[in-house]
Structure 1
Amino acid sequence: MAPAHELSSRETDAYLDRIGAARPRRADADALRELQQRHLLTVPFENLSVHLGEEVVLTEDRLVAKIVDARRGGFCYELNGAFAALLRSLGFRVTLHQARVFGRDGRLGIPFDHLTLRVETADGGGPWLADVGFGDHARYPLLLEGRADQTDPSGAFRVVEAPDHGDVDVLRDGRPELRVDLRPRELAEFGAACWYHRTSPSSHFTASLVCSRFTEDGRVTLSGRKLVRTVHGRRDERMLDGDQEVLDAYREHFGLDFGEVPRAAVFPGVRAGAAGV
């Protein structure tokens, strides 16, 4: 496999500063849990590059630069690709896995639909399934080889054997969300699926804008002009009035400073508003 980009000590410290985390003394399960939580609270899940016409380059140095230097977010390939580089720089052993996402109709998405991480820690626990790139998902890493319910602020998660091929399914409150292929992968292998999600009329990313992150007590999401805030399970929606209010919301809730409001691009064959959050 091609060697992964190794972050310098300076780059690692800058990444930790970006997510508001201290450098852990040991690459153990507690440190992994804290790093995932901090990442989810500070770095938004967003598909704005798709609509802004920005290139998405799946190399760890470019992904880290986007999150740390440009102070942006991204979607799964970007967020988990960069997070893998951070974890390795801190002494964790990280393996990339491809996963397929279950749709609301129960059907599986395309191969390499999602990038997730297997992480081994210095305390001998785990291995863990760590993920900062799936939007509304588990706040904390999940035991990959555990088969009992795992309680998380986002629900009861369970990792079970898939029907065939040696894969595992990740269930949330009894409903399947991901089917994970446990064979090791390289970041470059996700390039074709990334291109599909950026360009295909069948991709939910081309159908609408989304920018979302966890908060201490819930979640905040901006989709176009619709701002959704969930606090202790209570959901509040409102439409923002005017471009300045949208720009203020990007800045206030996500730390994103745009000169003009990102607008949904027009993709051939895509019906506007076809995808939700």
Structure 2
Amino acid sequence: MHADRTEAYLRRIGVERPDSPSAHALQVLHAAHLRHVPFENLSIHLGEEIVLTDEALVTKVVEARRGGFCYELNGAFAALLTSLGFEAALLQGRVYGEAGRPGIPFDHLALRVRTEDGGDWLADVGFGAHSELPLRFDERGDQADPAGTFRLTEKESGDLDVLRDGSPQYLLDARPRALADFAAGAWYHRTSPDSHFTRSLVCSILTGTGRVTLSGRKLTTTADGERDVTELTSEAEVLAAYDRYFGITLEKEPFLNPLLPT
């Protein structure tokens, strides 16, 4: 990215340019991204194109002040990290479903990030409620995080299971990929009736005390362990909630796309 674009991205997530691509800087950037850029699938239900290029993803996050799902958020974050001197590799993952089986190949995009002070990290700002800080990629013991206890376990195939509080979240392939490799996965999640993204409408963001999530007209706020659910009753209330909690300005209320297969 051009230097001006990098500075605009940093303003978007509310942090100063780090002095160096260090592990501490990565932690600050990771946490700030989660608190300023929402996880959302609104484009699927607003009929908007999802284009997997660095230019398109950064434009959506920085200029349109939107969020996205894993391909968009981690793709844009990788572009930012690279512009700041980090080494960021795109990795494909398969998310575990309710039956305990991993999903399709290229189901998820996560990042392996190398910092100048040594060591590789698993960064993931595109999995909704997940680790707030990057995880040590080569560590196989428990890793404490504000969001829980995480562990990376190696399978015979060489792939990694990423677990949160003992529950497998996704199966990660450690081989670097190109952004274009994820196009089929993104298309599947935009169009398939078997994708949870076509069957749900979600916008969610981490806060300093918990999380705020808007699913359709159901607004859920969690603060210091206390959960409050409010049913919004009008389009005006919904649009105001998107603006207030997520910084997203919409012209119309998104609904589950009736043109998608069900």
Task: Name the TM-score class by shorter chain.
Answer: over 0.9
Q: What residue in structure 2 maps to residue 3 of structure 1?
A: none
Is 1:178 aligned to residue 170 of structure 2?
yes
Q: Counterparts of 1:267 and 1:103 in 2: how far apart (Å)?
A: 25
Q: What residue in structure 1 maps to residue 91 of structure 2?
A: 97
Q: What residue in structure 2 maps to residue 220 of structure 1?
A: 212
Q: How does 1:133-212 map to 2 (within 5 A)?
A: 133-162=126-155, 164-212=156-204
For 1:176-219, what per-residue CA distance to the aligned partner results, in whole angstroms no more than 9, with x for missing partners?
00110001100000000100000000000001210001000111
Q: Counterparts of 1:61 and 1:130 in 2: how far apart (Å)?
A: 21
Give the aligned length.
262
SS at match of 2:113: strand
- What fraction of aligned residue pairs are identical, expressed as a percent? 59
Q: What residue in structure 2 maps to residue 29 of structure 1?
A: 23
Q: Counterparts of 1:225 and 1:243 in 2: how far apart (Å)?
A: 9
Contact 1:201 1:267 survives alignment (8 Å): no
Contact 1:43 1:72 survives alignment (8 Å): yes
Aligned partner letter, 2:233: D
TM-score by length of 2: 0.98
Runs of 4+ in 1 over 3 A off after TM superposition: none
Q: Which moved more, 1:99-108 or 1:186-195?
A: 99-108
Contact 1:168 1:180 survives alignment (8 Å): yes
Q: Counterparts of 1:9 and 1:15 in 2: how far apart (Å)?
A: 10
SS at match of 1:32: helix
For 1:234-261, what per-residue CA distance to the aligned partner results, in whole angstroms no more than 9, with x for missing partners?
2211111211111110000000111111
Is 1:130 aligned to residue 123 of structure 2?
yes
Q: Counterparts of 1:128 and 1:203 in 2: how far apart (Å)?
A: 28
Q: Counterparts of 2:261 and 2:114 in 1: how far apart (Å)?
A: 43
Q: Counterparts of 2:29 and 2:241 in 1: how far apart (Å)?
A: 25
Is 1:258 aligned to residue 250 of structure 2?
yes
Q: How does 1:36-75 map to 2 (within 5 A)?
A: 36-75=30-69
Deviation at 1:26, TM superposition (A): 0.9
For 1:60-92, what per-residue CA distance to the aligned partner results, in whole angstroms no more than 9, with x for missing partners?
011000000111100000000000000000000
Q: What residue in structure 2 maps to residue 275 of structure 1?
A: none
TM-score by length of 1: 0.93
Q: Counterparts of 1:167 and 1:30 in 2: how far apart (Å)?
A: 27
Q: Counterparts of 2:196 and 2:259 in 1: how far apart (Å)?
A: 11
Q: Counterparts of 1:50 and 1:208 in 2: how far apart (Å)?
A: 10
Deviation at 1:269, TM superposition (A): 4.2
Contact 1:206 1:267 survives alignment (8 Å): no
SS at match of 1:206: coil
For 1:128-179, what per-residue CA distance to the aligned partner results, in whole angstroms no more than 9, with x for missing partners?
00011000000000001101111111100011112x3210111100010011
Q: Counterparts of 2:51 and 2:244 in 1: how far apart (Å)?
A: 27
Q: What residue in structure 1 maps to residue 11 of structure 2?
A: 17
Q: Counterparts of 2:187 and 2:158 in 1: how far apart (Å)?
A: 27
For 1:91-142, what per-residue CA distance to the aligned partner results, in whole angstroms no more than 9, with x for missing partners?
0001110000011221111100000000000111x20000110000000000
For 1:13-64, what per-residue CA distance to the aligned partner results, in whole angstroms no more than 9, with x for missing partners?
0000000011000110000000000000000000000001111000001100
Q: Counterparts of 2:171 and 2:251 in 1: how far apart (Å)?
A: 39
Aligned partner letter, 2:67: G
SS at match of 2:153: strand
Contact 1:199 1:267 survives alignment (8 Å): no
Contact 2:90 2:176 survives alignment (8 Å): yes
Gaps of 5+ in 2: none
SS at match of 2:228: strand
2:102 to 98, 105, 108: 108
